[in-house]
Amino acid sequence: MKVLFMAAEATPWIKVGGLGDVAGALPQALRNRGMDVRLLMPRYYTVDPHKYQLKTVLENFPITMDWHQEECLIRYDQERNGYFVENDYYFGSRDQAYGYRDDAERFVLFARAGLEFCRRTGWYPDIIHAHDWHSAAAIRLHWAAPERAALVFTIHNIAHQGYVSNSKWPLLGVYDAVGNLNLMEQAIYGADIVTTVSPTYAREIRTPEYGFGLEDVLRGKGDRVVGILNGLDYESWNPATDPAIAQNFSADEPMGKLECKRALQEQVGLPQRSDVPLIGVVSRLDSQKGIRLILDSMPELLSLTNAQIMFLGSGSSQYESEIHNWTAAHGDRVGSYIGFNGDLARRIYAGSDMFLMPSSFEPCGLSQLMAMRYGSLPIARSTGGLADTIINRIDDGWTGYLFGPYEKGAMLGAIGRALNDFPNSGLWTDAVKRAMRQDFSWQRSAARYEEVFNWALEIRG
């Protein structure tokens, strides 16, 4: 089976969010199942052709964009198996993947170039798998092609849709449309199957609360909206071999986690006490991630509990300032690092006892998977992938603590339940071991995608 896998970001080349992790790992997991997968993404300025030894595999070719043409070429990273669309103006001159006024033009060019790449090289995919609105145009443009590929579109975050003005319709070759152009909506209409990154999120986005205006078109797809959990690269995220943490440990030999906690406390200036629960927060600092709930709860957490709290992240300047103020005023209880530090993030997963993730919505989430892998029990809101990956304290085989309403009181209640359990070392250690042994590997996710691809081939058109 030949699969054209289109995404705007992918590790190790460039990562902005969870999409980058998925696009970096899922293609290889599919290849391991015998598929011929070509990962295609734009080559931004920050993707250094010398560092990655990119070779040109298709010389300059023209792409028609409404009233003008753009020249593109295709480069290939043979070692890491990634293809890149290169265009100096739209991609090569940009430091960031997103956030430009002409993003619609940029990513329609990416889609057109990807389809032309297949035609010019004679490599015709059985499946076109497009991710989020940045590659959505490929679904719409290929939808009416004779003997077309099966079309699978994956929604990673429905809040970002590629919604642009009516004047942008000609980018898709449409000149008589009424209303604004929504690239994600067009891909949903055209796809044979729509997937998203957790079963619960697949249900949620078909409701007005979570659908961001696309709930009706998604309900119109019937059973062809499928939730498949993202996976985690268990080779990279492995506390038994991770060189970034103070001492390696595993579910079978968990004692090293105590040294990781002590070393983290020492590094960030917190009292080095194993009997005091340490809550970790590694997050983008914005409202979706529930940071407002955490900050509003700080007075209660500091006055009613003995917990330590460690923040790592960046985002809203308001949130950054408030975290800085709490750290300055309560340095014996609160630690923080404003920015991103990958090694420190791993040390927080390894050194924390609990991991706080009170998202207002969470399509899948990877942080809770990383936390469980490193023996930090998640405290999270029961939404999206959090509900699908964390077994709540009230259930057999529990691995964490879930709460329902997006409210401070509900979150504090879940934290309180965790803090009540923490002194019971036997109970806690058993839960930590269960969490570390959970299987969220990409192999399981890839098998489900293979089923979806075969279904799409059966029903295409």
Residue 251 burial (10 A CB sphere; 0-12, 13-18, 19+) = middle
225 pairs with which residues across the strands? 194
Phi and psi, residue 190, nearest 5°:
-85, -20
- Tell whether 290 is covered by a domain: yes
- In this predicted model, what pLDDT tens digit does every residue of 288-317 receive, in sequence order? 999 999 999 999 999 999 999 999 999 999
- Same domain for 312 and 174, yes or no, is no
- Same domain for 368 and 451, yes or no, is no
Cβ atoms within 10 Å, residue 234: 14
* Whole-number Å distance between alpha carbons of 427 and 399: 11
182 pairs with which residues across the strands? 163
Q: Which domain holds residue 7?
A: 2-231+442-459
- Same domain for 355 and 399, yes or no, is yes
- Tell whether 246 is covered by a domain: no
What does the pLDDT read at residue 382?
97
Maximum CA extent, the chain: 69
Give percent above pLDDT 70 in the chain. 100
What's the Cα-to-Cα distance from 405 to each of 93, 377, 411, rounded to whole Å? 44, 20, 8
- Same domain for 267 and 215, yes or no, is no
Q: Would you say 44 and 78 are in contact if contact means Cβ atoms under 8 Å apart?
A: no
Phi and psi, residue 311, nearest 5°:
-105, 140
What does the pLDDT read at residue 422?
98
- Tell whether 280 is covered by a domain: yes
- In this predicted model, what pLDDT tens digit does every residue of 71-123 receive, in sequence order? 999 999 999 999 999 999 999 999 899 999 999 999 999 999 999 999 999 99
What's the Cα-to-Cα distance from 218 to each of 135, 141, 235, 244, 384, rounded to whole Å? 18, 20, 36, 43, 16
- Tell whether 59 is covered by a domain: yes
- Tell whether 236 is covered by a domain: no
- Same domain for 7 and 91, yes or no, is yes
Provide the whole-model pTM: 0.91
The CA-to-CA distance between both ends of the chain, in Å, stands at: 18
**Residue range 5-22: mean pLDDT, rounded:** 93
- Same domain for 354 and 299, yes or no, is yes
- Same domain for 225 and 273, yes or no, is no
Q: Would you say 33 and 158 are in contact if contact means Cβ atoms under 8 Å apart?
A: no
What does the pLDDT read at residue 66?
84
Q: What is the DSSP letter of 175?
A: S
- b/e for 17-39, b at 16 or more Cβ within 10 A? bbbbbbbbbbbebbeeeebebbb
- Tell whether 248 is covered by a domain: no
Supply the mean pLDDT for the chain.
Answer: 96
* Whole-number Å distance between alpha carbons of 25 and 154: 15
* Whole-number Å distance between alpha carbons of 401 and 418: 7
For residue 461, pLDDT beyond 80:
no
- In this predicted model, what pLDDT tens digit does every residue of 321-353 receive, in sequence order? 999 999 999 999 999 999 989 999 999 999 999
- Same domain for 201 and 328, yes or no, is no
- Same domain for 318 and 400, yes or no, is yes
- Tell whether 247 is covered by a domain: no
What does the pLDDT read at residue 98?
93
* Whole-number Å distance between alpha carbons of 43 and 109: 12
- In this predicted model, what pLDDT tens digit does every residue of 178-188 receive, in sequence order? 899 999 999 99
Give percent above pLDDT 90 in the chain. 94
- Same domain for 420 and 448, yes or no, is no
- Same domain for 182 and 316, yes or no, is no
| CATH number of the domain bearing residue 165 | 3.40.50.2000
- b/e for 425-442, b at 16 or more Cβ within 10 A? eeebeebbebbbebebbb
63-70 contacts at long range (C-beta below 8 A, 24 or more positions apart): 63/109, 63/112, 63/113, 63/116, 64/112, 65/105, 65/108, 65/109, 65/112, 65/171, 66/170, 66/171, 67/170, 70/109
What does the pLDDT read at residue 38?
98
What does the pLDDT read at residue 409?
96
* Whole-number Å distance between alpha carbons of 259 and 246: 7
Which residues have CB under 8 Å from 351's CB, separation 6+? 245, 246, 257, 260, 261, 262, 263, 264, 265, 278, 280, 310
What does the pLDDT read at residue 340?
85
Residue 203 burial (10 A CB sphere; 0-12, 13-18, 19+) = middle
**Count of positions (residues) in the chain:** 461
- Tell whether 242 is covered by a domain: no
- In this predicted model, what pLDDT tens digit does every residue of 235-251 receive, in sequence order? 889 999 999 999 999 99
- Same domain for 201 and 56, yes or no, is yes
The domain total for the chain is 2
